[in-house]
Amino acid sequence: MDAEVVAVPLANDHLVLRFKTTTDRDRAMSNGPWVVAGQLLAMEPWSPDLVTGHDAVKTAVVWLCLPRLPVEYWNSATILEIEAEAGRPIAIDSLTEQRKVMGFARVRVAIDVIAPLLPDVQLHGTRRPLWQPFVYGGLPGVCFRCWRIGHAGESCTFLQPEKVALRGDLGTSPGAASRQLAFGPWPTAS
């Protein structure tokens, strides 16, 4: 991005970013994820009466992939509905929308960076329920214990929640207690 940006520091790890044009601002808000000094940059439009340290900026835009999505789910409305489980869909990747690459579906979504990430979603297949994993792109420091962004498992201060995991295949789930992790500790993409 070739935008002119001025960063003005505020208290409590907040910055105000001033853009030369609204087009540059909108592009920065809808693209990403933005990583600065190894930290995910969460961005929201300015709101009046923002109190730093009290009002949390908690939204980041990331690529979310659906690996091995069955062909019968390959239409824009269905893909957006599935991805909406993990965040607010912003745009479908053009290759996904045109069905030029069908190994995975890819959508840009706005996620809540404070809440735990959702590892997968259950689809109601025609023959049986299917577990569809989510792969989050470009996220730094995903904790494998609490499913949150910004720290590693060994420094996690959150209690480990009841085991929520992924299915390695897109078949039936034997139940949350015995589900297996599909991609090792956490599926992310760089």
pLDDT digits (tens, 9 = 90+) for 137-178: 878 778 878 888 888 777 788 865 555 555 555 544 444 333
pLDDT at 73: 93
The Cα–Cα gap between 149 and 135 comes to 14
* pTM (predicted TM-score): 0.69
> Which residue spans within 47-102 are E strands per DSSP?
59-67, 88-92
The token duo for 15 is 């910055």
pLDDT at 176: 38
pLDDT at 190: 54
Average pLDDT over the chain, rounded to an integer: 80
The Cα–Cα gap between 119 and 174 comes to 16
pLDDT confidence of 188, banded at 50, 70, 90? low
Would the CA dihedral through 58, 136, 122, 107 be positive or negative? positive
